Amino acid sequence: MNIKLPSLCLLATGIFLVEATQVIASTSVFSTNFDLTIPTEISAGTAFLTGVEGYAGLGPSDNQFGDSFLRSQTGNTVTLTLSDLPVHQTLNLGFLFAAIDSLDGSSDGDPFHGDYFTIKLDGKQIFHESFANAAPELIQSYVPPPGVELAHRVDLGFTGPGSYYTDSAYNMDIDPAFQNISHIASTATFEFVIGSEVYQELADESWAIDNLHVTVSPIPEPETYAMLLAGLGLIGVMGRFRKYSDV
């Protein structure tokens, strides 16, 4: 058998690159589209599955509101608990968010206002922003990064299209607030709630999430980067070797 040195180098390079890529790749640890059931990992409180109404089809082609989502009244906490996570150093959370009907935005002294969407990871707050669909003078603290906003203050159904009952939609998958969150524990608990001083009934204001998913990723060790660079360097050397050997 006549195996040339360049072939062996190429094989070694391939192994290096495959191993390095596997170390960097993220792993899906939870995903649901809420179309059939509420997964056992979720404690929903009074939240329930219901049709997405006018939200259907909003979002990029691979991540759209569809069929049903998990809808909650304000004041109710939805909890996602994950366990037996693989070894990781960062975590990514993704979901579509529906701000439904007359959410009242930031606190301004009116007890019905102060509708802040708060998300905690293992008890620590990772997101806290108000959302406003009702009167235009109300203040929404959340400023969506480019591409996140799918609809703003339009009629997407539920209580009604009246001036106080407009709706908004956001693709939180691409908000950097939810990407590369430092996390190493083998369990993770997410809490989602919209709170205010006085909670209003479901027919007045509510929220929903669809396509909820979590991935975890290791941070590449320095030796992984070295492995990648070594592999890429070998490819360069191989290219030159072939060039000269072809002459």
Query: Which H or E run includes 235?
Result: helix 222-246
* Closest to Ca ion by CB, 175 or 210: 210
Q: Does 34 bind Ca ion (CB under 5 A)?
A: yes
In which residue are the tokens 């058998």 written? 1
Q: Does 115 bind Ca ion (CB under 5 A)?
A: yes
- 208: helix, strand or coil: strand
Q: Does 55 bind Ca ion (CB under 5 A)?
A: no
Q: What distance lies between CA 172 and its chain's CA centroid?
A: 5
Provide, rounded to whole angstroms, the least separation between the CB of residue 141 and Ca ion. Answer: 14
Alpha helices in 88-179 (DSSP H): none
- Taking the CA atoms of 94, 103, 70 and 168 in sequence, report the sign of the dihedral they define: negative
Question: Facing residues of 32 across strands?
Answer: 212
Q: Does 210 bind Ca ion (CB under 5 A)?
A: yes
Provide, rounded to whole angstroms, the least separation between the CB of residue 125 and Ca ion. Answer: 20
In the stretch 60-89, what mask flags binding to Ca ion with x, by CB under 5 A? ------xx----------------------
Among 48, 112, 127, 164, binds Ca ion (CB under 5 A): 112
CB proximity list for 117: less than 8 A, separation 6 or greater: 97, 99, 127, 128, 129, 130, 131, 142, 192, 193, 194, 207
In the stretch 158-197, what mask flags binding to Ca ion with x, by CB under 5 A? x------x-x----------------------------x-
The residue count for binding Ca ion (CB under 5 A) is 15
Among 21, 26, 33, 50, binds Ca ion (CB under 5 A): 33
In which residue are the tokens 């939810």 written? 178
What residue type is assigned to position 143 of the chain? V
- 229: helix, strand or coil: helix
Provide, rounded to whole angstroms, the least separation between the CB of residue 70 and Ca ion. Answer: 9
Provide, rounded to whole angstroms, the least separation between the CB of residue 45 and Ca ion. Answer: 18
Token readout for 92 is 């990514």
- 202: helix, strand or coil: coil
Closest residue to Ca ion in the complex (CB) = 104
Q: Kindly list the residues in this chain that would bind Ca ion in the complex (CB under 5 A).
A: 33-35, 66-67, 101, 104, 112, 115, 158, 165, 167, 196, 200, 210
